[in-house]
Amino acid sequence: MNIAKVIVDVPASSINQTFDYKIPEQFQDILTVGMRVIVPFGPRKIMGFVVERTGESSFDKLKYISDVLDLTPVLTDELLGLGKWMANQTLSLYITAFQAMLPQVLKAQYKKELERVTEDPLSDELESLFAGRDFITYEELEGSTVSYSQIQKAVQDGDVVVNYLVKSKITKKHVTMIMPNREPHLLEEAIEDLSKNARKQKELLSFFIDNQQEIEQSVLIKKFNTTSSTIKTLLDKELLASTRKEIYRNPYDDKSFEQTTALTLTEQQQVTIVPIKEHIRDEKHDVFLIHGVTGSGKTEIYLQAIQDVIEKGQEAIVLVPEISLTPQMVKRFKGRFGSNVAVLHSALSNGEKYDEWRRIHRKEVQVVVGARSAIFAPFENLGIIIIDEEHENSYKQEDQPRYHARDVAIFRGENHRCPVILGSATPTLESFARAQKGVYKLATLSKRTNEKEMPKVNIVDMRNELHEGNRSMFSRSLKENIEQRIQRGEQIVLLLNRRGYSTFVMCRDCGHVNECPHCDIALTYHKNSRQLKCHYCSYEEPMPTSCPSCKSDLIRFFGTGTQRIEESLTQLIPEARIVRMDVDTTRRKGSHEKILNQFADKEADILLGTQMIAKGLDFENVTLVGVLTADSMLHLPDFRSSEKTFQLLTQVSGRAGRHDLPGEVIIQTYTPEHYSIELASNYNFMQFYKNEMSTRKTFQYPPYVFLALITVSHQNHVKVVQSAQQIAQLLLNNISNEGTVVLGPTPSPIARMKDRYRYQCMIKYKNEPNLRTLIRKIIRQFDDEVRKNDLLITVDMQPYQLM
Ligand SMILES: Nc1ncnc2c1ncn2[C@@H]1O[C@H](COP(=O)(O)OP(=O)(O)OP(=O)(O)O)[C@@H](O)[C@H]1O
Ligand SMILES: [Zn+2]
Ligand SMILES: [Zn+2]
CA dihedral 603, 606, 612, 618 (to 10 degrees): 70
- Residue ranges for the binding site for Zn(2+)? 507, 510, 516, 519, 534, 537, 547, 550
Distance 293 CA to ligand 1 centre (A): 10
270's enclosing H/E stretch is helix 267-282
Q: Are 426 and 685 in contact (CB under 8 A)?
A: yes
Ligand 2 midpoint to CA 555 (Å): 7
Distance of CA 738 to the CA centre of its chain: 38
User: What is the model's pLDDT at position 172?
Assistant: 56
Which is nearest to 292 in space by CA: 379, 388, 176? 388
Q: Is 51 helix (H, G, I), strand (E, B) or coil?
A: strand
Angle between helices 685-699 and 429-436 (to 10 degrees): 100
Which residue ranges of the chain lie beneath pLDDT 70?
108-111, 164-173, 246-256, 323-326, 498-503, 519-521, 526-528, 535-537, 557-563, 583-584, 587, 589, 615-616, 753-754, 803
Which atom number of ligand 1 is nearest to the Cα of residue 292? 21
pLDDT of residue 110: 56
Query: Are 50 and 31 a contacting pair, CB within 8 Å?
Result: yes
Mutate which of 269, 270, 296, 319 for ligand 1? The one with the most ligand atoms within 8 Å of its CB, which is 296
- 518 Cα–ligand 3 center, Å: 5
State the sign of the Cα–Cα–Cα–Cα dihedral 356, 362, 366, 370: positive
How many C-beta atoms lie closer than 10 Å to residue 4's C-beta? Answer: 30
Atom of ligand 1 nearest to the CA of 389: 25
Count of C-beta atoms within a 10 Å radius of residue 143: 10
> What is the DSSP annotation of 101-115?
TS-GGGTS-EEEEEE
Q: What is the pLDDT of residue 167?
A: 45
Indicate the pTM of the whole model: 0.80
Asked if 357 and 171 count as a contact pair (C-beta separation under 8 A), the reply is no
Q: How far is the CA of 567 from the centre of ligand 2 (A)?
A: 29
Confidence check on the interface: ipTM exceeds 0.90, yes or no: yes
Q: Which residues contact 569 (CB under 8 A, 6 or more apart)?
A: 474, 494, 576, 578, 606, 608
Question: What was the pLDDT predicted at 745?
Answer: 93
Contact, 318 vs 306, CB < 8 A? yes
- Ligand 1 binding pocket, CB closer than 6 Å: 263-266, 269, 292, 294-300, 425, 449, 616, 654
Cα 331 to Cα 317: distance, rounded to the nearest angstrom: 16
What is the structure's pLDDT at 159? Answer: 86
Per-residue confidence (pLDDT) for residue 419, from 0 to 100: 98
Strands 706-714 and 741-753: unpaired
Ligand nearest to the CA of 657: 1
Whether 780 and 725 have beta carbons less than 8 Å apart is answered as no
Residues 6+ apart with CB under 8 A from 101: 75, 79, 82, 83, 373, 376
